[in-house]
């Protein structure tokens, strides 16, 4: 149990760290016109309408960091004994993307599912998740 907690904590820190470069990819995609709004902010605006913009932006940043840390913690706690290879962490990142953007995000009415979304937006968000996964480091037990 203790090693799963320790690995979960390492995964959380790694997931948190990897969220910042991922966010940079989303910002770049937004500047190129591929995203109308950064997804975390779009989610906050949809789920908590009426927040002032400063609060919404702060909450979106905290929620995105927490989501990245939480996803990293889950992988860290559940990972096998050997350090995970990059293809495994990228695969996990794409699973997180798929469960979110084909799953709960459309169910919440925030965006259409990936299969019906604009290609540029869906691809940009997927690439950002690949960056997150490529930077995620989960050591062995």
Structure tokens, 42 = 């779009």
Per-10-residue mean pLDDT of the chain, 141 residues long, equals 74 97 98 97 97 98 98 91 88 98 98 96 98 90 61
Domain range list for the chain: 2-135
Q: Cα Rg for the chain, rounded, in angstroms? A: 15
**Confidence (pLDDT) at 67:** 98
Q: Which residues fall within 8 angstroms of residue 114, CB to CB, at 6 or more apart?
A: 98, 101, 102, 122, 126
Q: How far apart are the first and last CA of the chain?
A: 12
Compute the mean pLDDT over every residue in the chain, rounded to the nearest whole number: 94
pLDDT digits (tens, 9 = 90+) for 91-105: 999 999 999 999 999
Question: Max Cα separation, the chain?
Answer: 47
Residues 6+ apart with CB under 8 A from 115: 102
* Beta carbons of 65 and 16 less than 8 angstroms apart: yes
The pLDDT value recorded for residue 7 is: 85
């Amino acid at each position: 149990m203790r090693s799963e907690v320790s690995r979960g904590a390492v995964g959380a820190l790694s997931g948190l760290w990897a969220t910042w470069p991922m966010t940079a990819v989303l910002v770049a995609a937004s500047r190129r016109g591929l995203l109308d709004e950064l997804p975390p902010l779009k989610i906050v605006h949809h789920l908590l309408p009426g927040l002032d913009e400063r609060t919404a932006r702060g909450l979106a940043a905290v929620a995105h960091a927490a989501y990245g840390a939480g996803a990293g913690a889950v992988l860290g706690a559940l990972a096998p004994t050997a350090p995970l290879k990059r293809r495994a962490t990228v695969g996990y990142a794409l699973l997180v993307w798929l469960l979110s953007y084909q799953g709960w995000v459309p169910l919440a009415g925030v965006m259409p599912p990936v299969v019906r979304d604009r290609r540029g937006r869906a691809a940009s968000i997927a690439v950002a998740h690949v960056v997150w996964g490529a930077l995620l480091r989960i050591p062995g037990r």
